[in-house]
Amino acid sequence: MPARFRTLLLVAVLFLPTLFLTACGRSAPPADAPAVDGRLEDGLRVLTFDPSRPDARYTIYRGDYVRPELAGGGPFSLEIAALGVDLRVPTATGEPAFFKVPDAGVYPFRIGDLAGEIEALEYRAAAYREVSAKEAAALLPSLRPFVLDVRTGREFAAGHLDGATLIPVQALSRRLDELAAHRHEPVLIYCATGNRSTVAGKMLVDAGFTNVINVRRGIAEWAREGLPVVR
């Protein structure tokens, strides 16, 4: 095989996956992106605890709302003392059981005889950044981002940023097409305290959005700073 042809073939192997993802409207994940466990469904990270797994350490993102399940199914109890979590799955009411992880760190857990750790990492991506409420307020008049509120309708009605569009994080994956026109524009996202908006930020980046800005501590910090909201 001629050397020039081998070089062209190598270039194609290295770069065609990235070109394919871009053409499909998705960005290739950073080479150094950490591997996290579970899958996102309706804004929740579904984390499957497997007693047969060689280690009992699971990795998620700070801000995740986690819905636990047990490999093979069946009822179980999950305890995470550092988070005040004591869940019975399934719940007595039949509602989905979940817990949130508001801070990065390592959290020991126990499910019966299974003991291990959940490590929560800060989300990092080239197309994503976090700002304070004051920084967000300063960006609005100059950057003019698309403002996305990922809380519930009731929270939105109680007070929201001027010009914000409401798409609850639970519905975001199903409604991403509504935001397609803003894929390459600044998108400012917020929730109550910065947890759901972190989840939403990752969903947007994974969908190919190139400039996602998260209000790190949410509208709660916005209100504490005396910044204006509309009702």
Out of 191, 203, 204, 207, the active site residue is 191
Is the Cβ–Cβ distance between 71 and 46 less than 8 Å?
Answer: no
Between CA 116 and CA 157 the distance in angstroms is 41
Q: Per the structure block, which two tokens stand in for 125?
A: 């991506």
Q: Which ranges in the chain belong to alpha helices (H)?
A: 3-23, 133-143, 153-158, 169-172, 196-206, 218-224
191 counts as catalytic: yes
- CA atoms in the 13 A half-sphere facing the CB of 31: 3
Between CA 113 and CA 116 the distance in angstroms is 10
Q: Which residues are catalytic?
A: 191
